[in-house]
Structure 1
């Protein structure tokens, strides 16, 4: 009986060990896909065709996402990828590839009377950028909508072109208040004047080595004063360059 029990224990141990090996090395890997995973190669900087070939050779799918042209990227090359390079990914996964767009001829669309948000979406889809946004009062165009655009509709430009947009602030107020912009930088002063619905007037420079260059020293209209029209404010600006 002792020998039978020993044989039984040996057989039980053998089959248990064999079962664990089969489960660990054959069944589980096929079930969870361990043997079907690969580390993603880094295809950033490659042209779309080559990147697609490399990924599909590892049985990945690809999804190109085209973005507008930029001088900092070569058109047609991969800028980003998701999941990221060197990530372990299962076969059959779709890899998103962000591709730099080409500098193409674009006909400027008519975005007048669009909201600023919709205008931005329209321009972005065409690869056009926005350089400057000017807010101004308008008796006709509703608040937050495009009042003018440069270049104008119908003109043909490159897709990398930046546009200037005018955005309505609605009907003008009964009066305008002159802002206090002394000691502002010139850039900040311009924005403050425009935001009040006023205009930037004549800009003159004065040598002031003790001040930060492009600082507002004086303004020709008194801060806090009310005016009934969009007046122009003249500015005296500091410079560290002395005239010869």
Structure 2
């Protein structure tokens, strides 16, 4: 077998040239043949829009396109259907390779709780902004006769007064009782002495007045819950203004609510 001599300098250059040519050929083959073949070079998939889709619908859309997914975040959105997609990355219509992972944000099933703020005495506008900042829904204002126009007098949840600090779910509707500025009307003071407290309260609110301080007293001759005194008293000629309060003395323990 004939041996190639590498004793001369030209022969050495030839061998080096052959080696470099082989390395270049391997380099080009790796990047232009092997990698495109193994990574589906030039083959792209259009990312579908999976927002507003349920988890099952989203899975079917991505599976049909050989795309994977990962839930990267969960958040609560008032009014949104639980366990639906609200954000995705890459976005819809982006071009990606087969098997690409799509990162998703979905809505929570259960609303987180927040503490009810104290809105009483705030202006209606301030109270509304406060509720919106806490992801609570603002109900239609309930206007009642009171000289404090557009001032919040009571805060209500499910029709009942709610105290500051009480936990409520995000997205809950809070109704606000607001003064209409018409509290200058004067009329005779209603007489609620001798009535059970619930009837007295209904009579007071029915007269566009408010129940003020409730004071517990002992009176063995009266039934528990009976109103035995009121302030201001219902004397002849005495008048009261719409929206003012009446304090009551009640037999027995007082319900703080």
Indicate whether the TM-score tops 0.5: no
User: Which protein has the larger Cα radius of gyration, Structure 1 or Structure 2?
Assistant: 2
